[in-house]
């Protein structure tokens, strides 16, 4: 059995790093398809990214190039990738799938931070097995969305084509979070020059480079940038921009009267850290396009993703005592690592027509971004007030609440998700 992993971006290696290692440990031949021309900010891979898997074969595969010739040339039997249907569609390679199937090449999609919950049901016609983190993600979120209206709810088959959902999907847990076992907290502190005797508050910066203009208007670095963002948004999404006008107007008024709200929030976080003797660490990425003033609040701003195995944000989460984020997928990393998190609500870069919106982003009690004893949900004003009135110890993960949250959203916490994925792939190979 020869497995190829679509390793075009750094992010893909974070998702599949443990899976790649597990495949090598089982003695499988592993081929990593890297993209030498990847130009997405912060996603280009380097030679050092692949150093962790010296027994794997590296093969150049430019994004969007024909797949079949490369896979056949290297004897690939199975292709694995994160959100693989979406990736193949983005690369305009769906037309190759019938030929791949005729050659006996099987396709597997692993989950990228709960993203499968929003994937197109058409993927079931293309991908041999789609892996979900949890049964809840599969049955209660994804399969209940409106786009499955053609799919029979009792038999889980597409009425017209008899495509069985159960046989084309498995629950494995998060291969991404398997990396938790690799992390040495003392080594992480040393790597970033963090004191070994102080608690850490991890602040995940808000991604400013999104289609909706609220963030630039209300929290951006300058009103000139804000004006450009509004003009661009009106041209691309006029109705969506119009719906945001009341919120942008209110936020802009507050900005003109009281100053930048992002600055005020960061000042409150900095004060909270000072009062509690904690170190503030800001984690960002190149593609976030942060306002420069973030560096005014701490010397520890980590905006490079140099590590992929283990990856940087999970390393930082493992040494943190509190994580503050903006309805981010970091909530899963925090819960998995037993770290309490504060989830701050801001307008999201997509509308409520997104199929999984209610469960994932509405932040109703007992949901993805609002789970008592695991993650606290609030708006920016509420966050400032909450940090002023609470101590670090008041944010504490309750073991029972964490267990229930992990089962619901992550599926497993045994860091053996990669093994479950390989068990499925191996069984399919034996059955032919």
Residue 241 covered by a domain: no
Confidence of residue 360 (pLDDT cuts 50, 70, 90): confident
Residue 100 covered by a domain: yes
Does the pLDDT value for residue 157 go beyond 60? no
Does the pLDDT value for residue 159 go beyond 70? no
Domain range enclosing 37: 2-174+414-431
pLDDT reported for residue 210: 77
266, 308: one domain: yes
- What are the strands of the beta sheet with 301-302, ordered from one edge? 301-302, 279-283, 200-204, 322-325, 341-344, 375-378
Task: Say which residues have a Cβ less than 8 Å from residue 298's Cβ, sequence separation at least 6.
Answer: 270, 279, 280, 281, 282
Average pLDDT over residues 372-391: 97
151, 267: one domain: no
In order of 41, 212, 233, 244, 413, the CA distances from 239 in angstroms are 29, 11, 10, 9, 42
Residue 340 covered by a domain: yes
Cβ neighbour number for residue 432 with a 10 Å cutoff: 5
Distance CA 93, CA 317 (A): 36
Average pLDDT over residues 221-225: 78
Of residues 50 and 207, which shows the higher confidence score? 50
Bridge partner list, 322: 201
- Whether cis (ω within 30° of 0) applies to the bond prior to 310 is yes
Residue 223 covered by a domain: no
Q: What is the largest CA-CA distance in the chain?
A: 68
Residue 218 covered by a domain: no
Assign residue 89 the CATH number of its domain: 3.40.50.2000
Query: Strand, helix or coil at 163?
Result: coil
264, 363: one domain: yes
Distance CA 280, CA 271 (A): 10
Tens digits of per-residue pLDDT, 309-336? 999 999 999 999 999 999 999 999 999 9
Average pLDDT over residues 84-108: 96
Q: Work out how many domains the chain is built from and give that number.
A: 2
Confidence of residue 154 (pLDDT cuts 50, 70, 90): very low
Among 13-27, 77-91, 292-306, name the one with the lowest average pLDDT: 292-306
Tens digits of per-residue pLDDT, 52-86? 999 999 999 999 999 999 999 999 999 999 999 99
200, 304: one domain: yes
Confidence of residue 153 (pLDDT cuts 50, 70, 90): very low
421, 297: one domain: no
Task: Say which residues have a Cβ less than 8 Å from residue 335's Cβ, sequence separation at least 6.
Answer: 341, 371, 374, 375, 397, 402, 405, 406, 409, 410
Confidence of residue 180 (pLDDT cuts 50, 70, 90): very high
- The highest-confidence range among 214-223, 302-311, 365-374, by mean pLDDT, is 365-374
Confidence of residue 219 (pLDDT cuts 50, 70, 90): confident
419, 404: one domain: no
Among 69-73, 157-161, 426-430, name the one with the lowest average pLDDT: 157-161
> Residue 48: enclosing H or E segment and its boundaries?
none
Average pLDDT over residues 198-209: 93
329, 194: one domain: yes
Percent of the chain predicted with pLDDT > 70: 95
Residue 243 covered by a domain: no
Does the pLDDT value for residue 48 go beyond 80? yes
7, 86: one domain: yes
Residue 300 covered by a domain: yes
Does the pLDDT value for residue 263 go beyond 80? yes
82, 168: one domain: yes
194, 133: one domain: no
9, 149: one domain: yes
Of residues 125 and 80, which shows the higher confidence score? 80
Query: Strand, helix or coil at 367?
Result: strand
425, 349: one domain: no
pLDDT reported for residue 55: 98
Residue 249 covered by a domain: no
């Amino acid at each position: 059995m020869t497995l190829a992993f679509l390793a075009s971006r750094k992010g893909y290696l974070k998702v599949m790093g443990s899976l790649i290692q597990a495949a090598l440990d089982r003695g499988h031949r592993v081929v990593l398809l890297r993209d030498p021309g990847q130009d997405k900010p912060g996603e280009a891979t380097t030679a050092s990214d692949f150093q962790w898997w010296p027994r794997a074969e590296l093969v150049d595969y430019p994004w969007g190039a024909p797949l079949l010739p490369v896979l056949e040339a290297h004897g690939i039997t199975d292709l694995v990738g994160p959100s693989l249907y979406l990736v193949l569609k983005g690369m305009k390679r769906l037309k190759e799938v019938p030929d791949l199937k005729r050659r006996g090449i099987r396709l597997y999609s692993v989950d990228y931070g709960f993203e499968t919950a929003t994937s197109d049901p058409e993927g079931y016609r293309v991908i041999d097995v789609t892996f979900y983190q949890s049964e809840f993600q599969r049955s209660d979120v994804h399969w209940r969305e409106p786009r499955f209206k053609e799919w029979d709810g009792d038999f889980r088959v597409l009425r017209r084509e008899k495509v069985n959902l159960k046989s084309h999907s498995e629950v494995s847990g998060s291969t991404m979070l398997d990396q938790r076992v690799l992390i040495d907290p003392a080594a992480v502190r040393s790597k970033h020059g963090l004191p070994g005797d102080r608690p850490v508050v991890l602040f995940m910066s808000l991604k400013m480079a999104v289609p909706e203009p609220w963030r630039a208007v209300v929290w951006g670095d300058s009103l000139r940038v804000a004006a450009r963002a509004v003009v661009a948004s009106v041209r691309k999404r006029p109705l969506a921009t119009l719906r945001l006008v009341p919120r942008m107007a209110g936020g802009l008024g507050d900005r003109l009267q009281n100053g930048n709200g992002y600055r005020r929030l960061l000042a409150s976080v900095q004060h909270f850290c000072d009062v509690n003797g904690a170190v503030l660490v800001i984690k960002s990425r190149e593609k976030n396009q942060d306002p420069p003033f973030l560096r005014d609040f701490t010397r520890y701003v980590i905006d490079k993703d140099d590590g992929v195995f283990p990856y940087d944000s999970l390393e930082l989460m493992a040494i943190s005592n509190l994580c503050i984020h903006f309805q981010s997928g970091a909530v899963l990393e925090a819960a998995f690592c037993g770290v309490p998190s504060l989830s701050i609500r801001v307008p999201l870069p997509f509308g409520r027509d997104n199929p999984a919106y209610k469960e994932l982003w509405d932040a109703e009690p007992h949901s993805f971004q609002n789970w008592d004893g695991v993650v606290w949900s609030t708006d920016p004003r509420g966050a400032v007030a909450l940090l002023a009135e609470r101590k670090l110890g008041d944010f504490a993960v309750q073991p029972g609440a964490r267990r229930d949250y992990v089962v619901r959203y992550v599926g497993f916490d045994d860091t053996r998700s990669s093994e479950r994925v390989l068990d499925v792939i191996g069984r399919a190979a034996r059955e032919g």
